[in-house]
Each structure stands twice: as structure tokens, then as C-alpha cells.
Amino acid sequence: MRGTVTPRVTGPDRPPTEPENRTMSQSYAAEEGTPAAAPVEVPHGAGDAVLSIRDLEVEFPTQLGVVRALNGVTFDVPRGKVLGIVGESGCGKSVTARAILQIIEKPGRITGGSITLRSVGGETEITGLSPDSARMRELRGREIAMIFQEPMSSLNPVYTIGAQIAEAVLIHQTRNREEAHKRAVEMLRQVGMPHPEAAAASYPHQLSGGMRQRAMIAMALSCNPTVLIADEPTTALDVTTEAQILELIRNVRDRAGMSIMFITHSMGVVAQLCEEVIVMYLGRIVERGSVDDLFYDPKHPYTRALLRSIPRIGRNRKAPLEVIEGSVPDPHTRVAGCPFHPRCPEAIPGRCDTTVPALSTAGPGHTVHCHLYQGDDETGRTEPGEDA
């Protein structure tokens, strides 16, 4: 499933004869005939994690009560790889990303846990920094950069693309405006923007959605961050543009060896892009593993249900698409036990609705939070018959 053919990047907004593009040897943009270099395999362990999140908790005090957006989320972002985070709306994917940058919208706040960044400059404990501190601002953009979901609204309409990229460069790298502008144009060229000079001088509304997302990526990459967080960067784009942007992100990883945390709700995107995947549900991680583990040997009932609900070409057209029974519980109420148990077809009464399942290992690098796989229970339960 991985490495499936994606459309070659020659969209209508990218003329094939663009001399500036081709001269760039270290361009991130997809070029004909450049084989994607295989990412360097690093043995997995806590040591090579560029970002370690431990028991992260985020709460939103609202008038209707406290919403616990994250309930103890623990994971590592491996160095030089793409980590996918999947889950449906409201599961805490975006909140996790914003917590890492400490830009959670008010009144949300981190109430527990730790976020550790291991960059060239050493270890930094992010939760120990005040959100408005100079050190935190230094990390944003320079160590950890972020791309947002809506390319239509994530760029400020009253400043030019070039000025907005140069702003990041001016904060982190140089005080020279001319140099910053050159860097901005250079970045636009690297992400495959046609006519980078003209693009830098144009305003966001003058560009198409795909071009704006390229500009966002150029902005995020302008200060060579250690970690790139992409929060559903292709959700608002059409499939052709999505393929181009995914290709661009793959190239970023391959050429710059950047660690990428890719948030999405599309299993298809995960299969195309990611090496490791985390599945989230209601502010908790339910399963983590390599892409192959997750697609060929999903353990958690939620993951299996997610995979079954993908429409497939070639299946019986008359058969209705499988859906997960029920809906996501109201965020103000707290579900006792496993958060998925009210919708889980395999829930064990008296157990799943009382205790939160602990972590169990399903294979090398493959972990799951589910009572079905808890040590003493493993022999009693059989694998469900249907394929995933």
C-alpha cells in the first residue's frame, strides 16, 4: 500500500518550462527523474526521538464545564521520519500540535505532562517555559515550525507572501531586511513556486490554494526547523494539489532529513506518506505502530473500524459503507474506562467501562491500549474473523 503511484507533479499552475526551478540543485520541489532517496534507517528507541511527549494533559475550562482535550498522551517523534497522527475530528490531534508550540487558544492550557525537545542545542523542556517567554518564541519557527490546515486563512491577507516569510527569517536568522527577502524568494523557489520573485511580491488572495500552501511550507522551512508539524495541510485542497503537496513534504523529509509530525484524518494520506502512525480517540492514543503494522495487522477495534470505513474501488457497490456505530461522546462528559467502549463491538462489560486499558505490546514498535490484548486475557479471546 505504501509508495503507491501518485500523480506526477505537473499541475496547471506549474508550467513545465520554468528555468529557475531546474537550476536549484537542492530544491525540495519534485523534479522529473530524481529518485527519492530512502530515509536513513535509525534504530528505534527513546534516544533518537527528537520530540518526546509524556502524559500530556490539556484542559479547556468552558462555561459548560471542563473539556479534557488530552488525557495523558505519550509518544515520541522519531528523528528524520514522518509520524502520522490520525483520528476523527475532536480527538485532540490539533490540540497536541498546538500544545507542542504552546499556542493553544485561550482558555485552553496544559495541565500536566512534559514535552521534551532534543535539538542540536540540547534538550529543552517545553512545558517548563512560559508561553510568552523569549525562549519559547525562539523555539517557534526555528526549532519547531507548523503548517496549518486552511491555506486560505493561514496567511495574513494584508501583507505580501514575501514579507510574511521574511518576517520569520528576520526574527530568527538575520536583521538584514534585504537578506531576509532574498531568503524568502529562495525558499519559494525551493518549494517549487513558479515565478518566486513575483510570488513573493503578491498577496495571499492572488494565489491559488495549492500555491498558498506552498508558501506556508516555504515559511515553515525558512529557518530550517528540527521538527515540522503539519496540521492537516491537504484537507482543504483538491486531490491533484494534495498529491503535489504530499510529494513536496516527502522531498522535505528526504533531502533535509527533517522530522515531520503529520496530522490527518485521511488513512490514504497516512499510507502514502508516513512511516509510523498514532491513532487517537477522545484525547488518548489508542494504537501506535509502523504503517505496515497498522494497515495489515490493526489491533485496536477503533483502528480496525476506521480501516473498514474507507470506501474502496472494486468492492460491491450495493453494499453500504461500514460505519462506526454511535458518535463521538459529548466532550463535556467524561467516559469512564476505555473512551471507545460505548461504540466498541467487542467491549467487555465490567472491564472496558471501568478501567482505562494500560499499554500492551503487540509487536516490535507496535503498541495498543486495549483490554483485548491485556496479558491475562489474550488467550481467552480470539481474533475477529473478518479481515481489516
Partner 1 sequence: MLIVVARRAVYMIVTLAVVSVLSFAIIAAPPGSALSQKISQLQSQGGEVTEAQIAALKEQYGVDESWFTQYGKWISGFWHGDFGFSFTLNEPVGSLIWSRLGLSLLLSIGALLIAWGLSIPLGVYSATHRRSLPDNVITVIQFVGVAIPEFLFALVVMTLAANYLGADVGGLFSSQYENAPWSWAKFTDLLEHLWIPLVVIAAGSTAWLTRVMRANLLDVLNNQYVQTARAKGVSERKVIWKHAVRNSLHPLVMTFGTTFPVLISGEAIVSIVLNLPTIGPLLVNSLLNKDMYVAGTILLMLSALLVIGNFVADLLLTVIDPRIRVGE
- Site for partner 1, rule CB under 8 A: 98, 101, 103, 105, 132, 137-142, 145-146, 148-150, 153-158, 160, 167-168, 171-172, 203, 205-206, 216, 219-220
Instruction: Determine how β-strand 276-281 pairs with β-strand 284-290.
Output: antiparallel
Q: What are phi and psi of 128, to 5 degrees?
A: -80, -10
User: Closer CB to partner 1, residue 155 or residue 249?
Assistant: 155
**Smaller CB distance to partner 1: residue 29 or 145?**
145
Query: Cell triple for residue 152?
Result: 486560505
Using DSSP bridges, classify how beta strands 82-86 and 276-281 pair: parallel, antiparallel or unpaired: parallel
- Cα(142)–Cα(147) distance, integer angstroms: 13
Taking Cα atoms as reference points, which of 56, 51, 65, 53 lies closest to residue 109? 56
CB closer to partner 1 out of 230 and 362: 230
Q: How far is the CB of 105 from partner 1 (least distance, A)?
A: 8
Least distance CB 165 / partner 1 (angstroms): 9
CB closer to partner 1 out of 18 and 138: 138
Q: Give the CA distances from residue 325 to residues 265, 283, 322, 328, in Å, rounded to whole numbers and listed in that order.
A: 18, 19, 9, 10
- Rounded to a whole number of angstroms, the minimum distance from the CB of residue 209 to partner 1 is 13
Helices (H) and strands (E) in the chain, counts: 11, 12
How far is residue 288's CA from residue 302's CA, in Å, rounded to a whole number?
A: 12
Whole-angstrom Cα distance, residue 167 to residue 291?
37
Smallest distance, partner 1 to C-beta of residue 368, A: 32
Min. distance of Cβ 154 from partner 1 in angstroms?
4
Q: Which is closer to partner 1, CB of 137 or CB of 351? A: 137
With respect to partner 1, which residue has the nearer C-beta, 105 or 178?
105
**Beta-strand pair 366-369/122-125:** unpaired
| 234 contacts 264 by C-beta, under 8 angstroms | yes
CB of 106 to partner 1, least distance (A): 8
Pairing of strands 276-281, 259-264: unpaired
d(CA 232, CA 237): 10
The residue (of 149 and 360) whose beta carbon lies closer to partner 1 is 149
For the CB of residue 38, give the shortest distance to partner 1 in the complex, in Å.
31
**269 contacts 246 by C-beta, under 8 angstroms:** yes
Q: Indicate the residue among 160 and 251 with the shorter CB distance to partner 1.
A: 160
Q: Tell me the CB-side half-sphere exposure of residue 311, using CA atoms within 13 A.
A: 6
- Cβ contact 161:155 at 8 Å: yes
Q: Please, what is the minimum distance in Å from the beta carbon of residue 98 to partner 1?
A: 8
